Amino acid sequence: MMGLSGRAAIVGAAESDAIGILPGKSTLQLVAEASLNAAEDAGLSIRDIDAVFTAGWRPTEVAEYLGIAPRFFDGTQVGGSSYVIHVGHAAAAIANGLCEVALIVHGESGRSRIGMFPEGGGPQLPAGQFEAPYGLPGAVGSYAMACSRHMHEFGTTREQLAEIAVATRKWAAMNPKAFSRDPLTIEEVVSAPLICWPFGKLDCCLVTDAAGAVIVTSLERARDCRMRPIRVLGFGEGLDHQIISAMPSYVHGPGRISGPPAFAMAGVTAADIDVAQIYDSFTYTVLLTLEDLGFCRKGEGGAFVAGQRTAPGGAFPLNTSGGGLSYTHPGMFGIFTIIEAVRQLRHEYADQGPRQVADAAIGLIHGTGGRLSATGTAILGRD
């Protein structure tokens, strides 16, 4: 395992030309823009890419559109965490010489629904037989139900969950690309219209049009690229179910599986993380992940995020882009955790005051996909 740590690095990271509400752009067009922008960020050509990692779209569809015939590809699709998982898969493939320049990309016309890839199951699948007849409202109903159990077992409150939404909004206020930038209060979050109790509208991620991409290459080649390499120090993945009714415990997510190998490979502990990007599909996703990764003890997530601990200037800088709650969320967000981590570790915001986490050297990215189903954790380090 130690043989994989730090041998690959992220050298390019970018969004599509614009993000937000883009009714004039197709999903594959967004994918192409982000891919080109990430390659340019790295100082590479899209023709240099020899590996494609994607989810939602199949690798065949993305590679065909981009005009690439990759020698390595991976279409692991476990929801919004897939792209964080791809970082580990790409790093392993690169370290073993199976490819050299890997593109990880995801785009979705999530809001405008232009040229979307097909989704959905059927009435004979497990979800179709054992969940759909009861009107389960997809992701939001699933995460809300899990959250109800945490509130019951540990006394977690809606106000504590709201701390996350409010702190994340403060980061978004400093990001010109963020969709929602107006100040927010805890009272506004808990009194927002209910979607699925215990979640109000502001406990839930945005729905936008956006794409993001990153380029991963060998450390050796990375040092010849345009930007400072951000090394992949450790990674892990975990899953223990797909549909929410099959989740073994609503208060233990797969982060408990994906986190330990990532920290071990990187040779760091939770205390060493300078800045974290944790997929915030819903406020509860963050709270559960903080516990599962060991930033606090099980059941203490509510107390951990209290007092705006994760806001700018707080002790635990978290989701510094504004996250899926306030920056962007086209349907699957994991790719954007990687982009923001890279920017923080490059110190790209060094001239933007509190937006830059001072001296950030080690970052954590964590994706949660499906119905709290599958997670990827990776530790990144400034070269």
Partner 1 sequence: MAQDKPLPVPDPVTQPYWDGLNAGELRIQRCRSCEKAVFYPRALCPHCGSRDLGWITCSGRGTLHAFTIAHRGTPAAFKGSTPYVVAMVELEEGARVMTNLIDVDPTPEAVKIGMAVEVVFEKASDAITLAKFRPR
Residues that bind partner 1 (CB under 8 A): 122-124, 126, 128-138, 140-141, 144-146, 148-149, 152, 193-199, 204, 244-246, 250
Q: Give the DSSP H/E element, type plus range, for residue 234.
A: strand 230-239
Minimum CB separation from partner 1 for residue 202, in Å?
Answer: 13
* Active-site annotation holder among 143, 250, 327, 349: 327
Local structure of 325: helix, strand or coil: helix
AA letter at 139: A
Closest separation between CB of residue 237 and partner 1, Å? Answer: 20
Residue number, 53 or 199, with CB nearest to partner 1: 199
Angle between helices 283-292 and 138-154 (to 10 degrees): 50
CA distance 284 to 213: 26
Minimal distance, residue 204 CB to partner 1, in Å: 8
Q: Are 15 and 107 in contact (CB under 8 A)?
A: no
Q: How far is the CB of 79 from partner 1 (least distance, A)?
A: 17
Torsion from C-alpha of 318, 322, 324, 326, nearest 10 degrees: 140
Asked if 327 is an active-site residue, the reply is yes
Nearer to partner 1, 116 or 246 (CB): 246
Q: Could you tell me the CA-to-CA distances from 271 to 69, 268, 354, 369 in Å, in that order?
A: 42, 8, 21, 25
| Gap between the Cα atoms of 110 and 184, Å rounded | 24
Give the distance from CA 285 to its chain's centroid: 11
Neighbour count for residue 355 (Cβ, 10 Å): 18
CB closer to partner 1, 196 vs 266: 196
Cβ neighbour number for residue 27 with a 10 Å cutoff:
24
- For residues 77 and 245, which CB has a smaller minimum distance to partner 1 in the complex? 245
Q: Choose between 194 and 350: whose C-beta lies nearer to partner 1.
A: 194
Shortest Å, Cβ 240 to partner 1: 11
d(CA 69, CA 290): 39
Which residue out of 83, 279, 284, 349 is catalytically annotated?
279
Collapse the DSSP code of 263 into the 3-class scheme (helix H, G, I; strand E, B; otherwise coil) and give the result.
helix
Give the active site residues: 279, 327
